[in-house]
Structure 1
Amino acid sequence: MNKSILVLGTIASLLLGGTAFAQDSLVFAVVPKAMNNPFFDLARDGCEARAKELGNVTCTYIGPVEHEAATQAQIIEDLITQGVDGLAISVSDIAAATTVINRAVEAGIPVITFDSDAPDSQRSAYVGTDNKQFGTALGELLLQVKPDGGTYGMISGGAAAPNLALRVDGVREALAGSAWTEVPGSPTFSNDDIALAVQQMGDLKTANPDIDAIVPVGGWPMFAPDGWKNFVDGFKADVDSKALALVVADTLPQQLQLLSEGYAHGLVGQRPYEMGQVAMDTLLALTKGETVEDIIYTGVDVVTAENVADFLK
């Protein structure tokens, strides 16, 4: 069955048959880039927990199964038709998302973005990470781990994802003027595909046998712990000596565990749970006619072997 049809059918079931859409309840839809990305599970958990605390709000979490910008746009169109009370969207593609965001606003539905922005759309606010600063933090952490420099490559997700482009720029700016140089063909684009991201780790090492660092600007390859371990185990002596430095975005529990076991040198984390919470508060304020900040940053965390135990708690 076509995945778009399956997802949209699920939406119709939720909207038409679920108890969540009681007349005295506000329904806020959270639309991630992909539902098979565990990063967004935490945003879902945050929005659902906050909605429960608010009492009169329901968080409906629905998006493409995989990273597909066209499917995301179709899902948002359907949510507009169904008349949800607010939308929080992690933008896969700026052009596609801007069109549907503007349509939702014209239909009277408050819209915010989270995680990934469409700044020229009519959305009311962006909730999430300062992605340029996030990329800068990744680059600075690499400088801390391996100050003598060398060659590095990056792994990104969707080529049209605005938040990831900002992270790549941030890494490059942090390393500009240092002894680090980027290998040809970097970044590779995994399209948020976890298995492909793991494969691209190996591809970068094969194409550049003497590469000194790999910096995924999203946590995708570490979201498959066994695959990540298999890659690192092939070069464990180099990783242990920091001949091959591994500095990775995000701090999901499985990543923290891998770091604690010596399978990476450092992580720069976002706060997706807080994104989900703040998204609910912001949409509620907008439905009340209140003014909200245009940009609401949720902060980052830098984690190394020295403080990973605190984060694992």
Structure 2
Amino acid sequence: MKLTRLLGVAAVATAMLGGTALAQETYRFAVVPKAMNNPFFDLTRDGCMARAEELGNVECIYLGPVEHEAATQAQIVEDLITQGVDGLAISVSDTAAATTVINRAVEQGIAVITFDSDAADSQRTAYVGTNNKEFGVALGELLLEIKPEGGTYGMISGGAAAPNLAERVEGVREALAGSEWTEVPGSPTFSNDDIALAVQQAADLKTANPDLGAIVPVGGWPMFAPDGWRNFVDGFKADVDSKALALVVADTLPVQLELLSEGYAHGLVGQRPHEMGVVAMDTLLAIKNGETVDEIIYTGLDRVTAENVDEFLN
């Protein structure tokens, strides 16, 4: 059985080897997020650090741009190549920029995978994370469950050049095609992963479309600013409570689960960022040890509504 068939289980490598590390050599693996001010990636960092400590012969380096800046991310990867890290796990901000540095890293013998956001045409060995097309479809399907009568909807995205987000937008549209839902002009908006801007864009969508029936952020950004999100929703609380305005949001970070439990959203579709960090370490280590790894390693999705939110909060 290939090692990667078991990568979704956090401690499987340790268990298979009786608690010993996979190899005697020590490796330095870098996890490069799109932005370090995005709390989603904090969970990936935590998974990376925890798994590295368990393995014992791996150091997790967590380093990326403070804000979502594709050029800065590419420069950071260049610097890590120069430093001679043994492996890279990159959440791709811009496909073209990332492909160039990924290929350079591979040519210099560095193991490279992507996580969260892929550069499929690069020389990276594997992608670890969400099936982003299915993620978008799940968001659309959840909206249909919550409000089957339809209406108009608007999406909020992050970086315009981020391939994973484009796939989510496509998935939402696919799920809602042929239904009673119609996308408003100007959707999606692009927040560039700016949390405050994402909240403002939610308000702008509602202002521009007074009869808007749903807002679907394809990332959790506006809810990462809980006070700002509450203030926005409170302005239309009667519509939200009656589902005249449905709120279906990507991601299931703890703050989002709390907001859902308080009635500030109707449904969430969540990824598993902590597991991405864990599996990234296992995958890079397998590559360095000459193991064959699957090219695509999906970490799964969770659908959360008021009916089951307590299971995720506990």
Q: Give the shorter-chain TM-score range.
A: over 0.9
Task: Write out aligned runs for 1:1-313 (5 A).
Answer: 25-313=26-314
Distance 1:66 1:82 in 2: 22
Distance 2:154 2:25 in 1: 52
Q: Deviations over 1:33-61 (max 9, x none)?
A: 00000000000000000000000001000
Structure 1 position 266, deviation (Å): 0.2
Structure 1 position 289, deviation (Å): 1.1
Structure 1 position 32, deviation (Å): 0.1
Distance 1:80 1:45 in 2: 23
Report the 3-state secondary structure (helix = DSSP H, G, I; strand = E; otherwise coil) of the residue aligned with 1:247: strand
Residue 279 of structure 1 aligns to which amino acid in structure 2? A
Distance 1:290 1:258 in 2: 43
Q: Deviations over 1:133-171 (max 9, x none)?
A: 000000000000000000000000000000000000000
Distance 1:205 1:149 in 2: 16
Q: Deviations over 1:201-257 (max 9, x none)?
A: 000001101100000000000000000000000000000000000000000000000
Q: Deviations over 1:4-54 (max 9, x none)?
A: xxxxxxxxxxxxxxxxxxx95210000000000000000000000000000
Query: Gapped runs of 5+ residues in structure 1?
Result: 1-22
Distance 2:65 2:292 in 1: 31
Distance 2:25 2:305 in 1: 47
**Hey, what does 2:9 align to over in structure 1?**
none
Report the 3-state secondary structure (helix = DSSP H, G, I; strand = E; otherwise coil) of the residue aligned with 2:166: helix
Distance 1:57 1:108 in 2: 17
Residue 227 of structure 1 aligns to which amino acid in structure 2? G
Distance 1:183 1:24 in 2: 55
Report the 3-state secondary structure (helix = DSSP H, G, I; strand = E; otherwise coil) of the residue aligned with 1:221: helix
**Hey, what does 1:14 align to over in structure 2?**
none
**Hey, what does 1:5 align to over in structure 2?**
none
Distance 2:69 2:290 in 1: 33
Distance 2:290 2:91 in 1: 23
**Hey, what does 1:6 align to over in structure 2?**
none
Distance 2:88 2:293 in 1: 15
Residue 224 of structure 1 aligns to which amino acid in structure 2? A
Distance 1:281 1:199 in 2: 39
Distance 1:203 1:242 in 2: 19
Report the 3-state secondary structure (helix = DSSP H, G, I; strand = E; otherwise coil) of the residue aligned with 1:34: coil
Distance 1:200 1:159 in 2: 15
Distance 1:263 1:159 in 2: 27
Distance 1:304 1:198 in 2: 21
Distance 2:293 2:131 in 1: 17
Distance 2:204 2:149 in 1: 24
Q: Structure 2 length as normaliser, TM-score? A: 0.92
Query: Gapped runs of 5+ residues in structure 2?
Result: 1-23
% of aligned pairs identical? 85
**Hey, what does 1:10 align to over in structure 2?**
none
Residue 263 of structure 1 aligns to which amino acid in structure 2? Y
Residue 146 of structure 1 aligns to which amino acid in structure 2? K
Q: Deviations over 1:101-143 (max 9, x none)?
A: 0000000000000000000000000000000000000000000
Distance 2:219 2:115 in 1: 15
Over the aligned positions, Cα root-mean-square deviation in angstroms equals 0.7
Distance 2:26 2:32 in 1: 19
Number of matched residues? 291
